[in-house]
Each structure stands twice: as C-alpha cells, then as structure tokens.
Structure 1
Amino acid sequence: MQIDKQIVLVTGGGRGLGSAIVRSFAEQGARVVVNYRRSRDAAENLAAGLGDGQAIALEADVTDRDQVDALFAAAADHFGSPLTTVVNNALADFSFNGDARDKADAIAWDAFDAQLRGSVKATLNTTQAALPGMRSLGFGRIVNIGTNLFQNPVVPYHDYTAAKAAALSLTRTLAADLGADGITVNMVSGGLLRTTDASAATPDEVFDLIAASTPLQRVTTPEEFADAVLFFASPWSRSVTGQNLVVDGGLVKD
C-alpha cells in the first residue's frame, strides 16, 4: 500500500521525534492520528497545521488498554477506515542526561517498570488494538522505536535500554506471528537526536563528541530518523520484517 493511502497512528506524536514523524507521513499524503498524553496544545496545533482533514489529535495513555481501544475506535470513525500503520514512538517520562542518571547501585525497580510499561505494554496494546482492522485489510505496518544503546551502551541508562531491548524481542516475535496476515513489524533505532525534548538536557559537548565519532561527522536529526520510519511503512520494504535498522550516522556498526 502506498503511503498516501495509509492511515497512520504516531504515539507520542505531538512533540519531539513524534512530531517529525507525523510531518514526514503527512508530507507523503498519509492521513495521520497524532496521539498525545499531556501535550494537547502541541498535538492539536500540529494536526491543525497539516491541512484540512489530513490529521486528528487524539488523547490516550497508550499503557492503558481501554484508552487505546477508544483511540482506535475514534480514529476509524473519523477517517472511515481502520488504521493501516502504527508507529510506537511514545516515550515514558525520561531525560537523556548522563550526569543525572540512576546508577547501578541506586536504581530502583520502579524505574524499570515504568520503562517496560512504556515500551512493551504500550506496543502490545496498540498492536492488539490494530489487529482486527489490519487483518480485515490484509495489510499492516508496525514500526517500533528503539535505541542504539543495545550495541553501544556509552551511557548506561539501565532502565531505558533494558525496556527497549525487550521491545526489540517483541518486535521479532510479533513479526513471526503476524507475517501470514500481511503485517510487518520492524524497529528503527537511533542514537542521541539533535534535538528533541528528551535530549534537551544533553550538554553540547556530548553532541559534539558523538558527531566526531560518526562517519558523517554530525548528529542525526529527527527528520532524518523519520525517513527510515517511512521506509518501513512504504512498499519498498514489503519483504522486510523483524528487523532493527540503526539510524545514527554510522556510529554503531551492527
């Protein structure tokens, strides 16, 4: 299915990386659901600026299955068709500040629990809510957002990285389970992006160090990262599933 025929949900789409992904899909003609939990004004302004009828902002905490079901129902009612594509971008509250991170001797299980709910439970919720519609269409695209910290834990964000690693495992098992339904499930993993709300606390010297370590000699932008998300939704990736694509300017080679 061409992107301009798709109806796309971007969780956490009102700001940061999510807003860049929303804009990228809209530029290709897709209709987009801009999901938000707290950023109502940002999400509604983004949706309103994308053109008449092309986007709608809908509130839901994606870790709450009842709210996710209501989100999918409202989206299908608004656009008159099931969602074809889900981008699991929403991030449980987290700040990429290596100096302030919880270290191994102090981090509490509650921190892991919050990140696991945000990465794994939310992905399970949206996937299960999407399945009836995707199966009725014989088509579905699920793209999960990961991290290159699996391969390069330059800053040990223990809770965040563990949750994203679990989400990668879920990506691969879902791909194996849903392929016969015409549904692909993939992950796009980035490094530190310049700049999102989550990376706003990162000192400039850290960005400069990362840039100097990459073949491209710069830090990836949210817009560049969004290009890879579009790839997994596009016909060009129709035979690709269960994969993790690292988009970080060549920093991680795996």
Structure 2
Amino acid sequence: MELREQTVLITGASRGVGEELARAFAKEGSNVIINYYKSQDKAENLSNELGDKAIALQADIRKSQEVHKMVEEAKQYFKTPITTIVNNALIDFEFNPVTQKNVAELSWADFAKQFEGTIQGALNSVQACLDDMKELGFGRIINIGTNLFQNPVVAYHEYTTAKAALVGLTRNMAKELGAYGITVNMMSGGLLRQTDASKVTSAEVFQIIESSTPLQKVTTPRELADVALFFASPWGRAITGQNLVVDGGLVMD
C-alpha cells in the first residue's frame, strides 16, 4: 500500500518527534491522526496546519477504552480503517542528566510509569486497530525505541529499561502478525536534537555524542521520521521484527 493510501495513527504527535512524524506522513499524502494527551492547543494547531487529511484526537494511550474510542472517531472522520501505527508517546519523562534518579533513589513506580506508557500504550493501540488490519491483510506497526539501552550515555534507568522491553514486544508481535500481512518494526534514535524531552539535556552530553559518532552530529527528529516512512512504504514490505538504530553510527548493531 502506497503511503498516500494509508491512514496513520501517531501517538504523542503534538510535539517533538511526533510532530515531525505527522508532518512527514502528511507530506506524503497519508491521512494522519495526531494523538495527544494534554497538549490540545499544539495538536489542534498542527492539525489545522496540515489540513483536511489530519485530525487531532485526545486519548491517554494507557487506557484501552480511550484508545478504542479515538480509533473509532478517526475511522468515522476518514471513512477508512487505520492501516499504520507509530507508537511514539512518551509519558512524563525528560532527558535531564541532573535530575535523573540514581539506583538508590529509584522506586518500582518509576519503572511502572514508563512500562505503562511504552508497553501498555503500544499494546492498546495495536489491539484497537488489529481486527481491521487483519481484514485488510495489511498493517504497518512502527515502535519508537532508543539506542540508550545499548549505549547509556546517561543512565536513564526506567526509560531505557522500558524501551529494551519494547524490542521483545516488537519481535513477538512480528512473529504472530506476519501471517496477516502486518509488519512490526522498531526504530531507535538516541538523544535527539531537539525535542521537548531533550531540551533539558546539557550541551556536554550532546558534545559527547557528537565526538563519539562517525557522522559527527546529533540525529534530528526529522531524520528519524524519514525512517518511519521507509518502514511504512512498499520499500519496507519485506522487513519485520527489526530494530533499526538511527543515530549516525554511534551504536553499530
């Protein structure tokens, strides 16, 4: 299915990486669902900018009922099922090396919050769209990971552990859903320059990344969004169960 024929749900799409994902798919002619949790003004402004082929819809991705309601609203608006999901939402986390808790300070609640946003959120979005994808015999599921669990420039414990678990979810879903024409992949940038979550990242951390990276630069949200287009496009039709690291060569997997 060509990108212009796809209807794409992007979770956490009102800002940062999600905003760039929405712009990238809209530019290719896709229908775009801009999911947001709290950032209503940003989401609606983005939707208005992108035009009739975009809609901003609120849902807490951790709550299955809200996700199902959002999916039904999107289907009614576009008169077509959702073909493509980008699980991007990030729940209450900033990449701040100064305020990050160390091992002695962490609680299970810190980990649980990230697991709920990353794993439960992805599961809810997939389950809400799965019947339609099976009926179509087509689906593209793209999970947003991180290279930080392979190269923890800063020990963001709870965030990186949840993203490491997302690799397992990605590969298990790929194994089960391939028979229905559904691919499931993950793409992992590092600390990106710049998102709302990374705006508190110190210049020193970015300098470490630049000096350690073969391309000598920090990856941007738009560069990550380009890879999502590849996974969703016909060019990516034979790829599933993969974690593609998009970080200028910092991690060579």
Above 0.5 in TM-score? yes
- Opposite residue 7 of structure 1, the aligned amino acid is T
CA distance in 1, matches of 2:193, 2:156: 18
CA distance in 2, matches of 1:121, 1:147: 17
- Opposite residue 43 of structure 1, the aligned amino acid is A
SS of residue paired to 1:143: strand
SS of residue paired to 1:245: strand
Match of 2:11 in 1: 11
Q: What do the CA deviations read for 1:15-39 (whole angstroms, capped 9, x no partner)?
A: 0110000000011111100000000
Match of 2:71 in 1: 72
Match of 1:50 in 2: 50
SS of residue paired to 1:100: coil
Alpha-carbon shift at residue 203 of structure 1 (Å): 1.2
Alpha-carbon shift at residue 149 of structure 1 (Å): 1.2
Match of 1:245 in 2: 244
Q: What TM-score does the superposition give when structure 2 sets the normalisation length? A: 0.99
Runs of 4+ aligned residues of structure 1 deviating over 4 Å after TM superposition are none
- Aligned 8 A contact 2:10 2:34 in 1: yes
Alignment map for 1:42-191 (pairs within 5 Å):
42-51=42-51, 53-191=52-190
CA distance in 1, matches of 2:185, 2:152: 21
SS of residue paired to 1:242: coil
- Identity, % of aligned positions: 56
- Opposite residue 227 of structure 1, the aligned amino acid is D
Alpha-carbon shift at residue 136 of structure 1 (Å): 1.5
Alpha-carbon shift at residue 158 of structure 1 (Å): 1.0
Match of 2:31 in 1: 31
Across the aligned residues of Structure 1 and Structure 2, the Cα RMSD in angstroms comes to 0.7
CA distance in 1, matches of 2:22, 2:201: 24
- Opposite residue 153 of structure 1, the aligned amino acid is P
SS of residue paired to 2:98: helix
Q: What do the CA deviations read for 1:104-156 (whole angstroms, capped 9, x no partner)?
A: 11101100000000000001101111101111211000000001012112211
Q: What residue ranges of structure 1 are gaps of 5+ in the alignment?
A: none
Query: How many residues are treated as equivalent by the alignment?
Result: 253
Q: What TM-score does the superposition give when structure 1 sets the normalisation length? A: 0.98
Q: What residue ranges of structure 2 are gaps of 5+ in the alignment?
A: none
- Opposite residue 109 of structure 1, the aligned amino acid is W
Alpha-carbon shift at residue 189 of structure 1 (Å): 0.4
- Opposite residue 29 of structure 1, the aligned amino acid is G
- Opposite residue 139 of structure 1, the aligned amino acid is F
- Opposite residue 177 of structure 2, the aligned amino acid is L
Q: What do the CA deviations read for 1:22-76 (whole angstroms, capped 9, x no partner)?
A: 000011111100000000000000011012x110000000000000000110000
SS of residue paired to 2:214: coil
Q: What do the CA deviations read for 1:205-243 (whole angstroms, capped 9, x no partner)?
A: 221221121111110010011011111101101010000
- Opposite residue 6 of structure 2, the aligned amino acid is Q
CA distance in 1, matches of 2:179, 2:208: 44
- Opposite residue 16 of structure 1, the aligned amino acid is G
- Residue 223 (1) aligns with residue 218 (2): no
